[in-house]
Amino acid sequence: MTATELPASLLPESLRATLPGSAYTDPQVFALEQEKIFERMWFCAVRTSELDAPGKFRTVQVGRESVLVTRSREGAVKAFLNICRHRGARLCTEEAGEVKRAFQCPYHAWTYGLDGKLVAAPNLTSMPDVDRTTYGLVNVHVREWLGYVWVCLAEEPPSFEEDVIGAATERLGDPKAVDHYQADELAVGRRIRYDVRANWKLIVENFMECYHCATIHPELTEMLPEFKGGFAAQYYVGHGAEFAEEAQGFTVDGSAGVQRIPGVTEEQDRRYYAITIKPQVFVNLVPDHVIVLRMIPLAADRTVVECDWLFLKDVVDSGADLDRSVELFHRVNVQDFEACERCQPAMDSRAYARGGVLVPSEHHIGAFHDWVTARLSD
């Protein structure tokens, strides 16, 4: 019998067990996560600026549902289940688009206003029982923060302040620290979508620890020397990793970045902060840009990750060269996702039936595991 076969309680004091391998491969566990995590919590769905006029829309997969996010005549963001109330046709099959003033189902032409109300249908006047509100689109809760639309499929959403904003406060130690980056006013300078063949939890765990940094992130550890030590910025409340002395900016070659975001404080300057907002958002803060990753879990072994690099609007509009800024974290992403994809196929091994071990610099991942376990048994 080897150590990892011991009940977790009998592991040596400095080690903790991870989740068992089946938690990363079992389709039933994944279905439960869809239901109890992604369909009940706030889910960061769409960049607000993608909906810059009434009738613009985006569709996005949230848990097992396709959600249609749009902007109403009045300028409010709205979200609905993307399915016609008549006989179930998918309303919008495109990922993004624009309608004039209503969504018309292409099957029998039931027509819904931008607020979701049923406004027209063939023979509707002779069908008084088809109530325009009852048979309107099914509403999904929305909130806006950091320039993103967050949606929640729960009938009674959890507290956005606690679950979402609270995660940033807890990490940075100050409720206002994240506001200095004015993320909601920044523009998307670059977006890259990664199709990762790994369970979403492997991606979270990877983001939370820096024990791997020295091994797989040569560019990042050159930029942030303390990461060579293996402790993630996330390990300490309020801590930001300091740029290398010789680095002029947060770029792949240490060359100067672009214009600094005005609100960023002196204390925040030349530092890198990382925030995990459970269950599916990672926010990275540096003085001149913000990097936001949103995971879209599609299967136990597949997760799409959309990553936005946000800069000052003026910077983006000026056509400034963003390549070296983007390249740094793009490389980090690729390095991380390859590591996750390397773990996924081994999760089924008998050697991982009781999981692996967390070394001291990874212990805070245990809290994530406990949180997942608690959500699923809820």
CA triplet 301, 302, 303: central angle to 5 degrees?
135
Question: Which secondary structure element, helix H or strand E, spans residue 370, and what is its range?
Answer: helix 363-376
Query: Contact with a copy of itself (CB under 8 A): which of 143, 191, 197, 212?
Result: 212
Both structure tokens of 78:
């709205």
Binding mask 85-124 for a copy of itself (x = CB under 8 A): xxxxxx--x------------xxxx------------xx-
Question: Which secondary structure element, helix H or strand E, spans residue 353, and what is its range?
Answer: none
| Cβ neighbours of residue 335 closer than 8 Å, sequence gap 6 or more | 216, 217
- Asked if residue 202 binds ligand FES (CB under 6 A), the reply is no
Tell which positions 139-158 bind a copy of itself, by CB under 8 A.
153
- Asked if residue 107 binds ligand FES (CB under 6 A), the reply is yes
DSSP calls for 198-240:
S-HHHHHHHHH--TTHHHH-HHHHHHSGGGGGT--GGGSTT--
Quote the least distance from Cβ 348 to ligand FES, whole Å: 15
Residue matched to tokens 């936005």: 308
- Asked if residue 287 binds a copy of itself (CB under 8 A), the reply is no
Of 52, 358, 88, 84, residue with least CA distance to 232: 358
- Asked if residue 86 binds ligand FES (CB under 6 A), the reply is yes
Q: Are 44 and 148 in contact (CB under 8 A)?
A: yes
- Asked if residue 15 binds ligand FES (CB under 6 A), the reply is no
- Asked if residue 205 binds a copy of itself (CB under 8 A), the reply is yes
- Asked if residue 180 binds a copy of itself (CB under 8 A), the reply is no
Scanning 56-64, 102-110, 141-149, 281-289 for contacts with ligand FES by CB under 6 A, the matching segment is 102-110
| Cβ neighbours of residue 377 closer than 8 Å, sequence gap 6 or more | none
Pick one of ligand FES, a copy of itself, none as the site partner of residue 348 (Cβ within 5 to 8 A by kind).
a copy of itself
Q: How far is residue 275 from each of residues 23, 169, 240, 293, 348, measured CA to CA in Å? A: 24, 9, 10, 10, 30
Tell which positions 228-247 bind a copy of itself, by CB under 8 A.
230
Query: Contact with ligand FES (CB under 6 A): which of 6, 15, 32, 89?
Result: 89
Scanning 10-18, 108-116, 232-240, 316-324 for contacts with ligand FES by CB under 6 A, the matching segment is 108-116
- Asked if residue 353 binds a copy of itself (CB under 8 A), the reply is no
| Cβ neighbours of residue 99 closer than 8 Å, sequence gap 6 or more | 55, 57, 70, 114
Given the rule CB under 8 A, which residues bind a copy of itself? Answer: 2-4, 12-15, 18, 21, 64-66, 81-90, 93, 106-109, 122-123, 127-131, 134-135, 138, 153, 205, 211-212, 214-216, 230, 339, 342-343, 345-352, 355-361
Instruction: Give the interface with ligand FES as residue ranges (CB under 6 A).
Output: 84, 86-89, 105, 107-110
